[in-house]
Structures are given as C-alpha cells and as structure tokens.
Amino acid sequence: MNTLKNQHTPLLRALWVVLLYLCAGWLWITFSDAAARAWFTDPTTLTQVETWKGPLFVLFTTAVLFVVLLRQLQKDRRLLQLQHRQREALRRRERQLTVLMDNLPGMAYCCRFDEHWTMLFVSSGCRDLTGYEPEELIENRLTSYASLIDEECSDGLTEAVRQAVDRGEPFAVEYTLARKDGSQIWVWERGRGVEDESDGGMLLEGIVLDISGRKALENELAELATRDPLTGLYNRREMTRLLDEEMTRAARYDHTMALLWIDFDHFKAINDSFGHAAGDAVLKNVSDRMRSGIRSVDAIGRFGGEEFVILLPEMGEQEALETAERLRQLVSDRPVPLDSGASAMLTISVGVAVFPIHGHSPGALCAVADKAMYRAKEAGRNCVIMAPSPERAHNA
C-alpha cells in the first residue's frame, strides 16, 4: 500500500518523459555537429554524415523514448500486478470474514456509541438473534438497536460500557432483548471501543450471543437451591434464611411475627395403605391447599418429611391462631383424591409461636413452636396449640 501511495502522479510522469526527450534533443543539437567534424575530416564523408544526421536524430530520440516508455510501462505493469494481488487478497479476507461472521453463534456488529446504538454493520446472525434483517437495523432504517434493549437494563448497560471504554478495556454485559416477534431473550455482549478513522469519533465492535438457555438453567438451579423438589415450597435452608431476615426486620421496627409449626397426623398410615407414590401426591395436594390459604406476604416451607413451617409477618397471637385454625380446617374438611380412585383423609397438628412473646431468636422461636405442635399431638391431634408465654409457663 505504501508503494502505491509513493508513486508519482500522471502529470509528473509525463513531464519526466518530456524532460528526458528535451535533454536528449538538446544534447544532440549541441554536440552532434562538433562530434561529426571531429570524427570525419574528409569533406565528402562529412557531407554524407550531415545528410544522415536528421534520420539519426530521429533514431536516437526514438531509442531514448523507447527506453523511457519501456521502463514506465514495466513499472505500471508491476503496480497493476501488485494491485491485482492486493485486491485478490482483500477478496479472500472478505470471504473468510463473511464465512466466519455467518458461522458465529450470535451477531457480530459495529456501531456508533450514541443514544441509539446506531448500527453500521451487523452480521447475518442478526436474523436468528433479533428476528430483524441486517439492513433493517443498519443506520436505524426500521428500528434502532437501543429500542430493543429492556429499559430497566438500558441505563446500567450504557454506564458499564462507558466506564470500560474510558478505561480502554473490553466490556462484557448481560441484558434482555426484545425480538421482532415480541419475545424476550437474554443476551451476552462482549466488545470494545475503537476510534472511527473517518471523524475521530467512538465506535463499538463486538459480538452478541443468545444466553437464554443458560439463564433458564441458572434460574432452575437457583430454584432447586431454594425449593423443595416434591412440593415446590421453600426448603429448610431458605425458610431459615427468611426467618432470620423477618425476625431482624420485626425487631428493628418493633413488629410482631408469628410462626406455625405443622406436622401431618398418621401420615405413615397413608404410605402403608396406598403406597409412597400416593403419599407424595397427598403431600403435594395438601401443600397446595395450605399455600392457597395464606397471604402473599407469608412464606411456607417444608422442613423435612411431613413437617412444614409457615412464617406470618406482622401477625399477633389472635390472628395467628385464627390462621392456623383455618388451615387445619382446610386440610381436614376435604379428602385427597388419589389416582387409584380412592381418597385419603388427612389432618394436621399445629403449634403457634409469636415473636417477641415466645422467643427472641430464630432457634428459640422454632423450638417453642415445635414443642407446641407436640402438645397438639398429645391433645389428640387435628388441633392448634398456642405456645405458652414465659410468664404463664413459669406460673404453671
């Protein structure tokens, strides 16, 4: 490329040929007569030389022009061959780049770093990723890429990219994108800022990949980490975490909080009579009933086996007793239908404890509620027992 840039312009090259021709003509005119007289002393011979001097001048200047033009044309041929090789190399690189871009799992792009993320180039992977044709996004002809980004992600995304560009580092971000058909996908974008050689502005170049499958897996794993696989309720670890958080909040704002400790009555008999698969079906059915019988702010979890815990924020003793009694009736009043056509009757025993009356720590409150539940078992099952207050327990 530097070789091409350093070549003389056509005008300079033409002047160079003319100058050489003038120099050759001047040398001939100036020195040809003197040379002829010096070499040929005989008048007859000198006359003949003088007669042929004109044709010799033409032959001499023709030879000079031939040599000069031959060199120029040879140089032009080399330049044309160089240009041809460079064009072929460029076409090969373009083909390779096109194949690479078309086989990327996502979309490659180059865009201006402006409010619209104005696309200057997008690969054909744009169709599968966004549902739009590349020409529909380029120069915002149909819509801008920025309009596809979820508004909740947009500000944080722009700031993260700006900070990376200011530091001269590549960036990697995740956000949700609206496809042409209206569906939402999660994407991962990696790129970096580059200077626009045409105007000195800032461009972004990178790739965008669809990570919806990975996000779904992450959500599923997060769900498995916090949920009981059989009933879909919170597991013991998550309920313990929620209890810690709610007790801290209740202590800070001087609120009450109730805890229900629930155990199924004679559940082993259902497994023995109908089988463990039927027992699992009963667990799920009753779990759904209890979940439907509490508020949206309440939390219910399975602590293990047939033991369940319900967290009731900002609820005192009387309300907690009423809620526990309603749940007891909700379970006992309706038999659970089984796949075999039979039905199973089930009852629950419930212990109730309230913060801060019955305990000031999660462990203490759980222990008191558990003891109250066992008192309900001893009282004949299918009943609700409130934990005694420390004063009543001491007087007893």
- The pLDDT value given to residue 40: 73
3-state helix, strand, coil in the chain (%, to 5): 55, 20, 25
Residue 19 banded pLDDT, cuts 50, 70, 90: confident
Contact 365, 373 (CB under 8 A): no
Among the residue ranges 97-106, 131-140, 209-218, the one predicted with the least confidence is: 97-106
Residue 173 banded pLDDT, cuts 50, 70, 90: very high
pLDDT greater at residue 37 or residue 121: 121
pLDDT for 67-113, tens place per residue?
A: 777 887 788 888 888 888 888 877 777 666 666 666 667 899 999 99
pLDDT for 248-271, tens place per residue?
A: 999 999 999 999 999 999 999 999
pLDDT for 46-62, tens place per residue?
A: 777 767 767 777 777 77
Both structure tokens of 266: 């004679």
pLDDT of 396 strictly over 70: no
Both structure tokens of 349: 């025993």
Mean pLDDT, residues 367-389:
95
- The pLDDT value given to residue 78: 86
In the chain, the percentage of residues whose pLDDT exceeds 70 is 92
- The pLDDT value given to residue 94: 66
pLDDT greater at residue 386 or residue 33: 386
- Write the CB contacts of 26 (distance below 8 Å, at least 6 apart in sequence): none
Among the residue ranges 184-188, 198-202, 267-271, the one predicted with the least confidence is: 198-202
Among the residue ranges 32-36, 214-218, 390-394, the one predicted with the least confidence is: 390-394
pLDDT of 319 strictly over 50: yes
Closest CA to 148 of 123, 180, 120, 124: 180
Residues β-bridged to residue 195: 202
The secondary structure of 4-43, three-state, reads HHCCCCHHHHHHHHHHHHHHHHHHHHHHHHHHHHHHCCCH
pLDDT greater at residue 26 or residue 333: 333
